[in-house]
Amino acid sequence: MMSNQSPIDGRQDHQRTLVMGILNVTPDSFADGGEHFDFEDAVRHGHKLFDEGADIIDVGGESTRPGAERVSLEDELHRVIPVITELRELGAIVSVDTMRPEVAKAAISAGATIVNDVSGGLADPLMAKVIAGAPDIQYVAMHWRGHSKNMQNLTSYDEVVRDVKNELDDRVSELLQAGVAPEQIILDPGIGFAKDSEHNWALLRGLERLQLLGYPLLVGVSRKRFLGELVGAEVPADRDHATLAITSDLARREVWGVRTHSVKPHRDAIEVIEELYY
C-alpha cells in the first residue's frame, strides 16, 4: 500500500522507489550528447520528464563524463538557475546536480529542494555548511574519488563494496560534524565514478551492505558504459532496456531512488514490482 507521506521522505517502512529524471543542461553530457543544452530545449525536456511522472527532476550544468573538463561557476549558474525556476513553476520537485556550494545556494533560492553532489562534499568543504544551514533540503552524497578528468586513474580497491562503504561512512561523519541532520542524507555508490565494470557490478550485487549504513540509497546506472559492454550497445540510448532491468531489481530491493534518462518505462516497471511484492 502506498502511504500518504511525502514521496521524498526517505525514512518510513515501505516506499516505492522514486524516479529521478535526468536533465543535463550541458553541451557534452555523457549519455544524451548535449541534446538539452539550449534553455528552451531543456525546459521542454523537463516538462516531458514531469508529464511522464518523474518524482524528481535532476538539473545539472556540469558534465561528469570520464575525462570532462570543469565548467566555470558563471556558466554553471547561467545554465541551471533559469531552468530550475521554470520547472518549479510547473510544480516539479527539483534537485540540482552540482559540486559547488554557490550553485547549491542559488538553486535552493530558486526552489530546488535536493542537492545532488557527486563529490559527496569532497570537491568543496563549504558544501556541508550550506546543507547544514538549509535543514529542509535533502542532500545526495555520492561516492567519489576525484574530478572526471582523472577519475579513471583512481580505481584501485581492496574490496570494492567494503571500501566504498567505508568511504561513504567517512562522508557521513564529516557531514554530521558540520551540522547536517541524518534525515537530510541520501547516499549513492557512484556507479561509473572511479570504477571499472567489475566494480560497478560488484557494487550493484552488494547494495544491501551499503544499505546497512542506515541511509536511503540513490543509484544511477542509466545508459552507462558498463551496460553497453554487457549487451553490446555502443550508442547510449540503446542501453535503456538494460537500465530498466536494473531498475526493476532495485525496486524489489527497496532502493530509495533511481536516476534515469527516461521516466515512463521506469515508473511502469516499479508499478509492476509494487503490485507483485508490496
Contacts to ligand PMM by CB under 6 A: 22, 24, 29-31, 64-65, 97, 116, 118, 140, 142, 188, 190-191, 218, 220, 259
Smallest CA-to-CA distance from 127 within 141, 147, 143 is with 141
Residue closer to ligand PMM, measured from CB, 7 or 277: 7
Residue closer to ligand PMM, measured from CB, 63 or 248: 63
> By the 8 A CB rule, do 93 and 55 touch?
yes
Which residues of the chain form beta strands (DSSP E)? Answer: 18-24, 56-60, 94-97, 114-117, 138-142, 185-188, 218-219, 257-260
Residue 269 CB, shortest distance to ligand PMM, in Å, is 18
Three-state DSSP class for 202? helix
Residue 276 CB, shortest distance to ligand PMM, in Å, is 26
**Candidate list 224, 225, 239, 267, residue with the active-site label:** 224
Instruction: State the sign of the Cα–Cα–Cα–Cα dihedral 246, 7, 36, 111.
Output: negative
Residue closer to ligand PMM, measured from CB, 70 or 278: 70
Residue closer to ligand PMM, measured from CB, 119 or 274: 119
Residue 63 CB, shortest distance to ligand PMM, in Å, is 6
Residue 74 CB, shortest distance to ligand PMM, in Å, is 21
**Candidate list 16, 105, 225, 259, residue with the active-site label:** 259
Residue 236 CB, shortest distance to ligand PMM, in Å, is 8
User: Which residue minimizes CB distance to ligand PMM?
Assistant: 220
Three-state DSSP class for 156? coil
Q: How far apart are CA 216 and CA 106, in angstroms?
A: 25
Strand partners, 186: 140
Check if 259 is active-site.
yes
Dihedral pair phi/psi, residue 116, rounded to 5°: -105, 105
Residue closer to ligand PMM, measured from CB, 259 or 267: 259
Smallest CA-to-CA distance from 96 within 79, 112, 110 is with 112
Check if 171 is active-site.
no
Active site positions, annotated: 224, 259
